[in-house]
Amino acid sequence: MNRDVIITCAVTGAGDTADKHPELPITPEQIATSALGAADAGAAIVHLHVRNPETGKGTRDVALYEQAVRLVKAENSDVIINLTAGMGGDLMVGYPNPWDFEAEGTDLVSGLDRLAHVEAIRPDICSLDCGTLNFGEGNATYISTPDMLRDMTKRVREIGVKPELEVFDTGNLWFANQLCDEGLIDNPAWVQLCTGIPYGMPNDVGLLTALSHLVPEGGHWTSFGLSAMQIPWVAQSILLGGHVRVGLEDNLYLDRGVFASNAALVDRAAELCRLMGARVQTADQARETLGLA
């Protein structure tokens, strides 16, 4: 069991959820305000995407990232900023013609191009999705090849940003270990086990247990479950020695039929930590745990 827990809050994500929650953070101001509320509730790390303020859809707009981070840092200089670097990997394979790669929804750029906002902002952490995945139903795929990831890992290391190694399926963890074996990841590695996303890894306690034993030696791991599994997964992660992630990116509800806020989800996760006999790490403590400067 982990008795010193880091809570990450994934504030808004980039999924098609803008019309599914009446107060989902969309604008940089809303994202920053929600991130600050999560930090006040106990999140040491805030994981940020940004959205087009006009459409609510996820975007790679560097200026929007800069604005959101600036607003967070103006009010809280301690909280750890974790920016996604997953945008730009979406390939909608044509149907019925699989060679129609210009299908609506495709946003596919090189690994290094996915780091434009990370280069500009130099956050504490950025996410690196450690493999290619059939992303849900239909013809949506997420493309993240070994060579793309090596390019990204080398570059974030050069600019002093710690990668969060996102594991959506078992082979992703194999490759995360490979990056460590090649000396591309500084100790301690920081791994996130992502469960419940079709068609990656299911929410299965046995699988989470097995993967927790395959995290790179000396590394730390966190995990999340989608939707109704979010809070139960907090308990599972702690019991297995991991850290936790909650937030509106992964779950829109606090209770059945009750919309959540990021602060409320973090508060519930922190309460569960304490009820289990664990403490919640502050941002400063999390920096020491993760080896952040």
pLDDT tens track for 189-200: 999 999 999 999
Domains and CATH numbers, the chain: 4-290 (3.20.20.70)
Let me know: does 223 contact 245? Beta carbons within 8 Å.
yes
pLDDT bucket at 253, cuts 50 / 70 / 90? very high
Show the DSSP H helices in 159-260 as ranges: 170-181, 205-212, 230-239
pLDDT bucket at 105, cuts 50 / 70 / 90? confident
pLDDT score at 99 = 84
Mean pLDDT of 62-79: 98
pTM given for the model:
0.97
Q: Is 102 exposed, middle or buried (0-12, 13-18, 19+ CB in 10 A)?
A: exposed
pLDDT value at 103 more than 80? no
For tokens 């929650």, what's the residue? 21
Let me know: does 269 contact 237? Beta carbons within 8 Å.
no
Mean pLDDT of 107-121: 97
Angle between helices 170-181 and 146-158 (to 10 degrees): 50
Let me know: does 100 contact 138? Beta carbons within 8 Å.
no
- Strand-pairing partners, residue 10, are 47
Residues 6+ apart with CB under 8 A from 126: 82, 83, 84, 85, 115, 118, 156, 161, 162, 163, 164
